[in-house]
């Protein structure tokens, strides 16, 4: 089913709130919890992760809060996913390097994941937070050209 976690779902929702009110510099976790109707601890957790990944800038203290670290069109969906769920990889054995998976000698084509990952990651890098907020473009026109190097 190619699942991405709920955390990423929430993350995009929260980031969308920032993107829509980009002028309002700072929003704190409680405000967002109310406006997004998500539990506060969960919101805090996600905002934390997003700021650690430099998608949000945090400001602590009394009048603190979070704000978008860069323009919504400069934040790719790939970035959002990898900050909330780790590197984009379809299975463990292709996240890092070759040679970790001890079954590599057994299965002749465990390299297939690398190919799949490349395709998926490229696709997600094209989508930005700005695209997510745009209610227009019901179906983004998309063409993928896949040429082999052989």
Partner DNA sequence: CTAATATAGTACTGCTTTTGTACTATTTAA
Partner DNA sequence: TTAAATAGTACAAAAGCAGTACTATATTAG
Q: How many Å apart are CA 43 and CA 149, to the nearest integer?
A: 45
Q: Measure CA of the first residue to CA of the last residue in the chain; give whole Å.
A: 31
Binding residue (CB under 7 A) for DNA from 59, 70, 112, 115: 59
Give the one entry of DNA, a second copy, none that residue 52 binds, where binding means its C-beta sits below a cut-off of 5 to 8 angstroms depending on kind: DNA
* H/E element, 30: helix 29-36
Contact map string, positions 92 to 131, toward DNA, x by CB under 7 A: ----------------------------------------
Residue 81 lies near DNA (rule: CB under 7 A): no
Is the CB of residue 108 less than 8 Å from the CB of residue 50? Answer: no
Residue 2 lies near a second copy (rule: CB under 8 A): yes
Judged by CB under 8 A, how many residues of this single chain contact a second copy? 63
Contact map string, positions 106 to 125, toward a second copy, x by CB under 8 A: xxxxxxxx-xx-xxx-xxx-
Is the CB of residue 141 less than 8 Å from the CB of residue 87? Answer: no
């Amino acid at each position: 089913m190619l699942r991405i976690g709920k955390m990423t779902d929430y993350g995009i929702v929260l980031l969308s709130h920032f993107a829509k009110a980009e002028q309002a510099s700072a929003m704190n976790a409680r405000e967002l919890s109310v406006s997004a109707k998500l539990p506060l601890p969960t919101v805090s957790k996600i905002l934390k992760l997003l700021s650690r990944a430099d998608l949000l800038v945090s400001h602590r203290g009394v009048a603190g809060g979070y704000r978008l670290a860069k323009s919504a069109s400069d934040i790719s969906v790939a970035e959002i996913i990898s900050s909330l769920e780790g590197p984009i990889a379809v299975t463990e054995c292709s996240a890092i390097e070759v040679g970790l998976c001890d079954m590599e000698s057994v299965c002749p084509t465990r390299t297939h994941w690398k190919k799949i990952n490349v395709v998926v990651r490229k696709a997600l890098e094209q989508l930005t937070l700005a695209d997510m907020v745009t209610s227009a473009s019901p179906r983004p026109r998309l063409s993928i050209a896949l040429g082999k190097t052989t």
